[in-house]
Amino acid sequence: MSNTELSNEETKLSHATLPRGAQWLVGIAAIALGGLALVLGVSIVGAVVIGVLAFLIGYPVWALLVENKRSATDKLVTGLVWTAFGVAVIPLIWLVYMVFARGAATINPEFLTYSMRSVTGDEQGGLYHALMGTLIVTGIAALISIPIGIMTAIYLIEYGKGNRLAKAITFLVDVMTGIPSIVAGLFAFALFTLLVGPGTRFGFGGGVALSLLMIPTVVRSTEEMLKLVPDDLREAAYALGVPKWRTITRMVLPTAIGGIVTGVVLAISRVIGETAPLLVASGFNPNMNTSAFDDSPMMTVPVFIYTQLSEATQKGVEYAWGGALVLFILVMVLNLIARIVGTIFAPKTGR
Amino acid sequence: MSIQVKDASIFYGDFKAVEDVSMSIKPKSVTAFIGPSGCGKSTFLRTLNRMHEVIPGAYVEGKIQIAGQDIYGPNVDPVAVRRKVGMVFQRPNPFPTMSIYDNVLAGNKLNSKRIKKPEADAIVEKALRGANLWNEVKDRLGKPGMGLSGGQQQRLCIARAIAVQPEVLLMDEPCSALDPISTAAIEDLIHELKSDYTIVIVTHNMQQAARVSDDTGFFNLKAAGQPGHLVEFNPTKQMFTNPDNPDTEAYISGRFG
């Protein structure tokens, strides 16, 4: 292309642009506008909305005047995406902040090691019994769900391959995913009322209720991971004279183990905070109870939070926040473990 | 071991993929299958170690004998057949969780066979030397097999296949994902392996068939949707100079397919 052609208006490749740092200028102006609104008596939420709207309108309009339509659209959509991001993340950060700010003061050695046995008035109590209960109940749920879930997934992927039974199982798993959690609790409660006696509330019942919620998650995530193992590898193993069951146990599962463990841990952290089913199936107990099979209720952290909050005393509210923080940290640790395990077991491609 | 095939037809459910193939594959020779895509040569290759059974609904009619034994006989264990008839696939597929060393021993490891360390070392070295890979990887046997180049991975897969000491080695377009240099390496290897194994190779590359094979089978389709069939099976020299069938000549000279 010659220079004369480039100077032609229609083939020009450059156009006027906004000054550098234009977005900061608009941003400062928007903040100033929001601040002005605040001074004039608008509420803080209103002021923030005014500021964001000012930016979302002002920046694209300026771009439209100076640059062109495409660049204005770009700036508008970029602004909208960031706004959506903020709307999604701000409540999350706020929640984390609130749990830490309100709960941290309650956490002390006594709170973590005392139960609520014979605690009255302003005496120091704790959630040790609830913490142990949560670990036991969730442990039982995991012990039931992990083998059943993984073996179901193995059947669906390795043996079922879309036959009628596999389709039926997939459908039922999907239905189970949608069970309201309190229904799972009612089921476990009714089951043990029939098996043991009326009004049976105990740790194992809570575990069974949670496992109903956990199994579909484990099946789904394991299925996805097994699907990711290429058929090439299965065929390679068969071609070496390896029977199918050994191919599954020694090649397919080790290849997918990172993802499976991650899925399992995430499933555990999903059910560890369940309240409704435990309220029904596992019950309340201010005392320490470490026996899941005794016919006596077992306290769990979510139920502890619920009971303390319904006390509606100063101390009760504090304990509820403390319990929330403990539960939060528990879930966070589990997620962290899932991440670490995922990276440790991931197939290595390094040179 | 020689392979005798008589009137073999291969089905996927109701669909007949390959029709009435008969041939006789000589022991310790290289036999190549050529033909247009979809003519059933890979399908036929996979029936030689019962690998096509992995696909639900697939079955074979007719007789396939290896060293005089019908591999589709009533009491035959497909796993036992596959231990005698190894296979190398189109795309290199080393096991991603395993090191180079473990990949070579995969046949033993996956079957939980216990072998002593010196014996295992000997098997690995022999197989890797056999696959012309030893010098390139001997200093990094503990590294993941996935870290090798495509051509090295394919030779690793060949080492893995010969480490279980099969009698027959099936190769399903082993070079189609490789560059010319790696292809040449694999072809040289095929020449060397011929002295120990009966090799059957499917290839899209007719020069390759001409270079490596003793006998060649040409598969073709009568029309789309029709089952594939064996048009001609003859010594490679005759096939490429003076074929019996005019279709073979047309295909080899590039007039169709």
- What are the tens digits of pLDDT across the range B105-128? 999 888 888 889 999 999 999 999
Question: Is there a domain that residue B239 lies in?
Answer: yes
The pLDDT tens digits for A23-49 are 889 999 999 999 999 898 888 889 999
Question: Quick check: A240 and B82 CB within 8 A?
Answer: yes
What span, in angstroms and rounded, lies between the C-alpha atoms of B90 and B176?
Answer: 7
- Do B32 and B216 form a contact (C-beta atoms < 8 A)? yes
Contact A236 B109 (CB under 8 A): no
| Domain range list for chain A | 3-103, 128-345
pLDDT value for A120? 77
Q: How far is CA A107 from the centre of its chain?
A: 24
Cα(B67)–Cα(B48) distance, rounded to whole angstroms?
12
* Residue whose C-alpha is closest to residue A170's, from A227, A225, A230, A223: A223
| Helices (H), ranges, A17-159 | 22-39, 44-66, 69-103, 109-113, 128-154
Comparing C-alpha atoms, which of B201, B247, B93 is closest to residue B156? B93
Looking at residue A8, what is its pLDDT? Answer: 59
Quote the distance between the C-alpha of residue A148 and its chain's center: 22
Q: DSSP character for B36?
A: S
Q: State whether the Cα torsion A334-A340-A341-A346 is positive or negative.
A: positive
Tell me what pLDDT residue B130 has.
Answer: 86
Is A241–B79 a contact, with Cβ atoms under 8 angstroms apart? yes
Is the residue at B105 inside a domain?
Answer: yes
Q: Which pLDDT tens digit goes with each residue over A141-170?
A: 999 999 999 999 999 999 988 789 999 999
Cβ contact B138:B56 at 8 Å:
no
Query: What domain range is B85 assigned to?
Result: 3-252
Distance of CA A266 to the CA centre of its chain: 7
- For B73, the enclosing helix (H) or strand (E) is none
- Which of A240, A248, A261, A344 is most worth mutating to test chain B (most B CB atoms within 10 A of its CB)? A240
Q: Are strands B198-202 and B215-221 parallel, antiparallel or unpaired?
A: unpaired
- Rounded distance, CA A261 to CA B102, Å? 23
Q: Residue B168 domain-assigned?
A: yes
Both tokens assigned to A174: 């999907």
Closest CA to B34 of B217, B215, B208, B222: B217
Cross-strand pairs, A290: none
Mean pLDDT calculated for residue range B238-254: 87
Judge contact between A127 and A306, C-beta under 8 A. Answer: no
One-letter amino acid of A9: E
Q: What is the pLDDT of residues A43-94, one digit of tens each?
A: 888 999 999 999 999 999 998 888 888 989 999 999 999 999 999 999 999 9
For A53, what's the count of Cα atoms within 13 Å in the CB-facing half-sphere?
9
Contacts of A255 in chain B (CB under 8 A): 95-97
- The predicted structure's pLDDT at residue B156: 93
Cα gap A193→A191, rounded to integer Å: 5
Say if B34 falls within a structural domain. yes
Cα first-last separation, chain B: 33
Least confident range from A129-138, A167-176, B55-64: namely B55-64
Six-digit token string for A37: 């609104």
Name A150's Cβ contacts closer than 8 Å, sequence gap at least 6: A218, A222, A260, A264
Name, in order, each residue with C-beta under 8 angstroms of A246's C-beta and a sequence gap of 6 or more. Answer: A237, B110, B111, B112
Give the pLDDT mean for B32-38: 89
The secondary structure of chain A in percent helix, strand, coil, rounded to multiples of 5, reads 75, 0, 25
Contact A201, A258 (CB under 8 A): no
Is beta strand B228-235 parallel, antiparallel or unpaired with respect to B85-88?
unpaired
The distance in angstroms from the start CA to the end CA of chain A is 46
Mean pLDDT, chain B, rounded, equals 89
Residue B221 C-alpha, separation from nearest chain A C-alpha, in angstroms: 27
Tally of domains within chain B = 1
pLDDT of residue B183: 87
Report yes or no on B230 lying in a domain: yes
CATH of the domain at B145: 3.40.50.300
% of chain A with per-residue pLDDT over 70? 95
> What mean pLDDT comes out for the span A338-349?
78
CA atoms of A142 and A187, how far apart (whole Å)? 18
Return phi, psi of residue A183, to 5°: -65, -40
Q: Write the residue in B54, B97, B110 that is nearest to A242 by C-beta.
A: B110
Domain assignment present for B225: yes
- Contacts of residue A235 in chain B, CB cutoff 8 Å? 51, 54, 87, 89, 93
List the single residue in A with minimal CA-CA distance to B160: A240
B109 to A255: CB separation less than 8 angstroms, yes or no: no
Is B157 part of a structural domain of the chain?
yes
Question: Does pLDDT of A122 surpass 80?
Answer: no
Report residue A126 as tokens: 């704790």
pLDDT at residue number A116: 84
Q: Residue A11: which H helix or E strand, with range? A: none
CATH architecture of A128-345: Orthogonal Bundle (1.10)
In-domain check, residue B161: yes
What are the counts of helices (DSSP H) followed by strands (DSSP E) for chain B?
Answer: 11, 10
Distance in Å, alpha carbon of A340 to nearest chain B alpha carbon: 17
How large is the average pLDDT for residues A206-210?
Answer: 95
pLDDT at position A13 is 81
Q: What band does A1 get if pLDDT is binned at 50, 70 and 90?
A: very low
